[in-house]
Amino acid sequence: MNIPKGTIPKQTQFFYGADYNPDQWQHAPEILERDIELMKQAGVTSASVGIFAWTALEPEEGRYEFAWLDRVMDRFAQEGMFVFLATPSGSKPMWLSEKYPEVRRVNKDGRRDASGWRHNHCMSSPVYREKSRAINAQLALRYKDHPALALWHVGNEYSGECHCELCRTAFQDWLRQRYGSLHALNSAWWSSFWNHTITDWRQIQTADPSIDALQLDWMRFVNDQHVSFMLNEMIPLRELTPDVPCMTNFMGTHESNNYWQWAEHVDIIANDLYPMPADCADSWRYSIQSDFIHSLMRGMSGGKSWMLLECSPSSVNWGEINKLKRPRSHRQEVLQAVANGANTIHYFQWRKGRGGFEKYHGAVVDHEGTNQSRVFKDCATIGSELAQLSAVHSADCPHAEVAMLFDWESRWALNASRGPKVIKSGGPFAGDLYTELCFDHYEALTCCGITVDQVSTQSDFSRYKLLVLPALYLVTQELADRIYQFTQCGGQVVATCMTGYVDLTNCCWLGGFPGAGLKELFGIWNEELDNLHNDERVELNGQFGGFARDVVERVHLRGAESIAQAGSEFYTGHPLITEHICEAGHAFYLAARFECAVLVDFYQSLATRFDLSRNLDIDLPAGLVFRRRESADAKYGFLFNYTQETHSVDLKGLSYSDLLAESNCAKKLELKPYATKVLRI
Ligand code: GLA
Ligand code: ZN
């Protein structure tokens, strides 16, 4: 495959479209024509087709029906539009699920699912692997030379776990591969605890919360098993259509999938994101969480463009309270993804179905069926704006000077460890302690106007000035050494509470936290962890003032200097923020979860000391964010007002033109609530 990551050979502008389910409308052929007409009006370039269409494609085992899909593909081609053709493994035909019960998942209690629902196939089942490969081969054979085929949408939102005997055996084999011997497994798992010493591989269970190393390995296994399922699906696609890129839709920071690993196997990163409507008290935080997830996708595609493959044009239907999006907020969400490097904006869904679980989910075309709805008009405006911005699609987001490590392994290990405070934050991206700490630091850096590149444990840190390691709970010696080398070469490091507690198998480092030599790097010893009630706060005094919450560590100086200390509790006076000169760099340790204001002050001081550049050399009002995309011959700026107030901004020395302005721009830019400006600078 010679397609460079992040590119779709057939793409010459922003792709704009939706998940499209013509398989549900076969009884009404006029709908296809009506849809094509409406798509043209809305500026649609592309659609994902056939995601849940297995039964329409293969109504009985081995009998295929493609006439309906031929029509869709041909009509798209005639109109110069593209299809992201889906492989249909996301939900199983009834005939298949009833004939081969092994394709259905088994839950932790050993009960097999009934037929139905979706995203619930056993990912180890040889039958399901064989059947999905067979239908994929048929699709690839039939459409390999079709001009409408732009890329493969492989599966849908792979996730979840299965505890059937096939999965259990596969897990045991996976462990045998990883550890080689039972002795190695038992010592890695600390399994003498509560009589868990394994004396035969077949004794190993898929779930046992008392063995935290087992849980961590189970997360790794489930992730690997999904990836191997996806790779199995791709075999015929790679063989028959080597020039058609493959992607699958990620789910942002979803807990169970280590997307850094998935990213290596797909040609372009694609993500689904459903932010909450921006009219609640937490809307700023939600906007920044979306921004964080977009930047994670940018990181996974190595700074190259990626796809926002699903978002809702209005409300979703699966929340408790499904609010409509307020004026401008949807446009802002779209442009936020674009500002972070997305070159595709697709919705779930093009047209509302008449029945089923998602009949009230937002769609471009309502049950009413015309171009008269508010949402349709909104989408059509966005479609024409994206067409106007088409030059932006060949510009990339510039590399940042600050890197943040987002690490599923640390998150899994922390969540499998009993003791530290469990946080389950609400909101669209339900966070745990790990992700909330990441969000906190990203938010503070964003408030300082500093862009962050997200990196994995495998990334090269050397191009960055500052490396932020939120809650790097699981640390291997190899990683710790690379962090050390980074400071040797003059890099600055920030670590937080929950750093360096465990090794690769979730066993605690001995000799004091943070382990693997990080104690020396940060010049501290973290002796104890205090967990606070939700409404409790610990004061912070010193160079930085404010409050700590949720988790506070009691640390001692071992070479570092304390720059801010606890101002309350029995550990008053103990260091809570420390600085250590280590080799050519500085290593900062933040021994608690802090409120945002503390982190903003902290990063502002780092920005001054270490000369970190801001996206714009202007102090913007709180809640406004500026982002950039640049190509060899043009620079673009995106200015977002994430607040519920109107702001007027003077961009001072910056010369720019407002690309989507209705009238020629004044000296000051006026941004209404949730308004976004796209500037050529
Ligand atoms: C997911 C799925 C879609 C649809 C949407 C609804 O992202 O991939 O099929 O169910 O959710 O929000
Ligand atoms: Zn299974």
Of 334, 366, 394, the one marking the end of a domain is 394
> Which domain does 518 fall in, by range?
402-609
Kindly state the average pLDDT of the residues 164-172.
98
pLDDT digits (tens, 9 = 90+) for 406-451: 999 999 999 999 999 999 887 777 789 999 999 999 999 999 999 9
Find residue 452's DSSP bridge partners: 402
Same-domain check for residues 378 and 497: no
Does any domain span residue 2?
A: no
Catalytic option among 58, 102, 161, 310: 310
Q: What is the pLDDT of residue 320?
A: 86
Q: Are 258 and 227 in contact (CB under 8 A)?
A: no
Q: How sure is the predictor about 283, in pLDDT bands with cuts at 50, 70 and 90? A: confident
> What's the distance, CA 444 to chain centroid?
19
Of 348, 367, 394, the one marking the end of a domain is 394
Q: How far is the CA of 374 from the centre of ligand 1 (A)?
A: 22
Instruction: Give yes or no: 157 in active site.
Output: yes
Does any domain span residue 9?
A: no
Q: Which ligand is the nearest neighbour of the Cα of 158? A: 1
CATH number at residue 416: 3.40.50.880
Q: How far is the CA of 103 from the centre of ligand 2 (A)?
A: 7
Query: To the nearest whole number, what is the mean pLDDT of the chain?
Result: 96
Protein residue whose Cα sits closest to atom 4 of ligand 1: 348
Same-domain check for residues 135 and 226: yes
- Which atom of ligand 1 is closest in space to residue 156's alpha carbon? 8
What's the rounded Cα separation, in Å, for the pair 147 and 80? 9
Q: What is the pLDDT of residue 486?
A: 97
Q: How far is the CA of 203 from the centre of ligand 2 (A)?
A: 17
Q: How far is the CA of 474 from the centre of ligand 2 (A)?
A: 28
Same-domain check for residues 84 and 129: yes
The residue to mutate among 310, 311, 315, 347, having the most atoms of ligand 1 within 8 angstroms of its beta carbon, is 310
pLDDT digits (tens, 9 = 90+) for 16-40: 999 999 999 999 999 999 999 999 9
Pocket of ligand 1 (CB under 6 A): 156-157, 272, 274, 310, 316, 348, 358, 361
Q: Which ligand is the nearest neighbour of the Cα of 161? A: 2
How many CA atoms lie within 13 Å of 91's alpha carbon, on the beta-carbon side? 14
The residue to mutate among 358, 364, 429, having the most atoms of ligand 1 within 8 angstroms of its beta carbon, is 358
User: What percent of the chain is predicted at pLDDT more than 70?
Assistant: 98
- Which atom of ligand 1 is closest in space to residue 312's alpha carbon? 12
Number of other CB atoms surrounding residue 142 within 10 Å: 18
Q: How sure is the predictor about 278, in pLDDT bands with cuts at 50, 70 and 90? A: low
Q: Which residue has the higher pLDDT, 329 or 60?
A: 60
Same-domain check for residues 207 and 353: yes
Same-domain check for residues 462 and 574: yes
Q: How sure is the predictor about 377, in pLDDT bands with cuts at 50, 70 and 90? A: very high
What's the rounded Cα separation, in Å, for the pair 607 and 600? 10
CATH number at residue 652: 2.60.40.1180
Using alpha carbons, select from 308, 506, 500 the residue that is nearest to residue 416. 506
Does any domain span residue 422?
A: yes
Protein residue whose Cα sits closest to atom 11 of ligand 1: 348
Instruction: Give yes or no: 662 in active site.
Output: no
Same-domain check for residues 139 and 216: yes
Query: Is residue 112 scored above 90 in pLDDT?
Result: yes
Same-domain check for residues 381 and 418: no
Query: Is residue 571 scored above 70 in pLDDT?
Result: yes
Does any domain span residue 7?
A: no
Does any domain span residue 618?
A: no
- Which atom of ligand 1 is closest in space to residue 157's alpha carbon? 8
Same-domain check for residues 280 and 347: yes
- Which residues, 6+ apart, have CB-to-CB distance to 184 below 8 Å? none
Protein residue whose Cα sits closest to atom 12 of ligand 1: 316
User: What phi-psi label fits residue 674: left (phi over 0), alpha (psi between -120 and 50 degrees) or beta?
Assistant: left
Query: Is residue 1 scored above 60 in pLDDT?
Result: no
Catalytic option among 102, 157, 161, 385: 157
Protein residue whose Cα sits closest to atom 5 of ligand 1: 348
Same-domain check for residues 355 and 457: no
The residue to mutate among 250, 347, 348, 350, having the most atoms of ligand 1 within 8 angstroms of its beta carbon, is 348
Q: How sure is the predictor about 342, in pLDDT bands with cuts at 50, 70 and 90? A: very high
Q: What is the DSSP string of 497-510?
A: TT-S-B-TTSPBPS
Protein residue whose Cα sits closest to atom 7 of ligand 1: 272
Burial bucket for residue 226 (CB in 10 Å: 0-12, 13-18, 19+): buried
- Which atom of ligand 1 is closest in space to residue 317's alpha carbon? 12
Kindly state the average pLDDT of the residues 73-98.
98
Does any domain span residue 532?
A: yes
pLDDT digits (tens, 9 = 90+) for 601-616: 999 999 999 999 999 9
Q: What is the pLDDT of residue 4?
A: 87
Direct distance between the N- and C-terminal alpha carbons of the chain, in angstroms, rounded to an integer? 36
Does any domain span residue 120?
A: yes
Q: Which ligand is the nearest neighbour of the Cα of 153? A: 1
Q: What is the pLDDT of residue 651?
A: 87
Same-domain check for residues 525 and 668: no
Same-domain check for residues 387 and 408: no
Q: How sure is the predictor about 666, in pLDDT bands with cuts at 50, 70 and 90? A: low
Reported pTM: 0.97
Does any domain span residue 10?
A: no
CATH number at residue 51: 3.20.20.80
> What's the distance, CA 112 to chain centroid?
30
Q: How far is the CA of 90 from the centre of ligand 1 (A)?
A: 11
Of 394, 413, 434, the one marking the end of a domain is 394
Q: How far is the CA of 176 from the centre of ligand 2 (A)?
A: 18
Number of structural domains (the chain) is 3
Same-domain check for residues 553 and 642: no
Q: How far is the CA of 224 from the centre of ligand 2 (A)?
A: 13
